[in-house]
Chain A
Amino acid sequence: MDNEVTALTIIFTEFYYWVTVVFMFLIHVGFCMYEVGASRRKNHMHTLMKNTMVIPLVTVTFFFFGWWIYFAFPNGPGIIGPLLSAPWAEPWSELMGAHMGGAPADTATFTAEDTAYWARINGVFWAAFLLFSWTAASIISGSVIERIRSSAFWVVAVVIGSFAWIIDAAWGWHPDGWMIQVLGYHDAYASGVIHAIAGGAALAVLIHLGPRIGKFAPDGTPRNIVPHNPWLITVGLFLIYTGFWGFYVACNIPIIDVQDGDGVFFSATNIYLTPTTLSAITLNFLMSLAGGLMGGYLISRGDAFWTYSAGLCGVIGASAGNDLYNPLQAMVIGAIVPMICYKLHFWVERRFKIDDAVGAVAVHGYGGFLGVVVAGFMLWGYPASQKYDAIITPWGNFAGAVIMFFVLGFLPAYIVAGILKAFNKLRVPREIELVGLDLSEYAARYEDEDQMLAAEIAEARAAGTLR
């Protein structure tokens, strides 16, 4: 920070990530609106609070251990190397607090160069990743509404949001991650890293949780549980789209020297530190969104819920390669992936009696999985990294998609949900589910209203206006 250019670059980067965090907050606003809109009136407050409390619980746990995992686990540990040292990300580190970037207090651990860089970037970079964590947990939240215990969901949210997803980020979304070095894994805007893992986890919880009462007729035919407010759902999804812009931008590094060897060339890069531009991802985001909306409209015959969801799924399906695709390619991928996911959703629902209330497994899980696989074919032979020799291949990305969806998403959630179910702590009591999870909320409200009415009548009598 001792010359203007360096200071401007660092402070611009700090500001850049800060803006992405504010944008990404809208994802959570959107998820809350979407879930409440999809739930029935008798479950509103439970649905809202279940998702709202993801914010504090994932935040504190991501501070406690999530951020450190990202920097400590790129080797596995034990897959290609040991646990790495990451003192700036330890929760008791001075660099996890407000810091001027000057002389470190802990001189045994940090140099002045460490503090100069991390003091400015650590907090906003942490927050950007944290918002990804909320998203991972929130994706699961929607699929399990109207019957999961909040206590159980919050355990799953912490396991996936602050632990499992950040392991996958260390493995497949870190410039030195073993999946990049060994598999040539490429997933620039997190089709697999966020969406496939969260979708896989949601599917695992749903298997243990079972469908909502009445979802399936005695002959197994699925019934449509009508969302109480389609307008709230669509506005929620618009907000998720808006927040998704911030998500895309947060997946980039805004300005670094990408020239290897002589000379200097400053550019934005993706998370793997390979060059891309904000223009590229803006074009591809919009074209894949457009493709998704158009494909979704056709396949669902104009159903608003699925058209909006398909728009999201279109972006997710193209995200793995949206740093490099042509916009026309992004549009085609964005159109086809949600059409497949739509069909898969209803096939899985009928065949396995899976009640995914908002289609999260399809939109995020299958969409993310397919997005990673498609990128393996589309970007076959591209260098996966500037630093390592690995190239992107269909088999490398397919293996990566399996790791994301099944190994780090489905498996841990299946184990955790299975344990909770074994102790009868996963699902609310049957009677409560039938009458609605907001029963005590309404009872308290009625009692308050009755007390106020009695007080007002007494007041009116005292004033002589009522006999």
Chain B
Amino acid sequence: MSTGSFENWNGNVLDIGPLYPFVGTEMVWFIICVAFWLAWHVLQWRMEEANYNDDMEVLKKGDNMERALKGEKVLRSM
């Protein structure tokens, strides 16, 4: 039993084609990978938006905007 399409390296090497396992399932892997790529963009988009919203809230507090412009330390908890 092998997940690959060959079970030993002996015999005629010319008979060996794909080296990767689960030959015949390529389309399934393709769909998974495309879905992961698209989901990544959506998740990154949300993370970025949330991050900017948090930063904007921090900058609205006290003199944080001025401190940040001067390059001084600004903490999220300030």
Contact = CB atoms under 8 A, between A and B. Distances in A.
A447 interface: yes
B54 to A, nearest CB: 7
A284 interface: no
B37 A93 contact: no
Dominant SS among interface residues on chain B: helix
A429 B52 contact: yes
Contact of A103 (B14, B44, B52, B55): B14
A103 B19 CA distance: 11
A452 to B, nearest CB: 14
B74 A442 contact: yes
Nearest to A97: B20
Given A102-B14, A431-B56, A447 B20 contact: no
Contact of B55 (A61, A115, A425, A432): A432
Contacts of A349: none
Interface string B47-78: 01001101110110000010011010111110
Contacts of A435: 59, 65, 68-69, 74
A155 B41 contact: yes
Dominant SS among interface residues on chain A: helix
A439 interface: yes
A155 B69 CA distance: 30
Interface in A415-467: 425, 428-429, 431-432, 434-436, 439-440, 442-444, 446-447, 450
Interface residues of A, number: 43
Contacts of B5: 105
Nearest to B60: A431
Contact of B68 (A93, A102, A436, A450): A436
Interface in B16-36: 16-20, 23-24, 26-27, 29-30, 33-34
A447 B45 contact: no
A98 B19 contact: yes
9 contacts: A60-B33, A97-B26, A99-B18, A103-B14, A154-B41, A435-B65, A436-B68, A439-B68, A439-B74
Closest CB pairs A-B (n = 8)? A435-B68, A92-B26, A98-B19, A100-B16, A102-B16, A102-B14, A94-B18, A92-B30
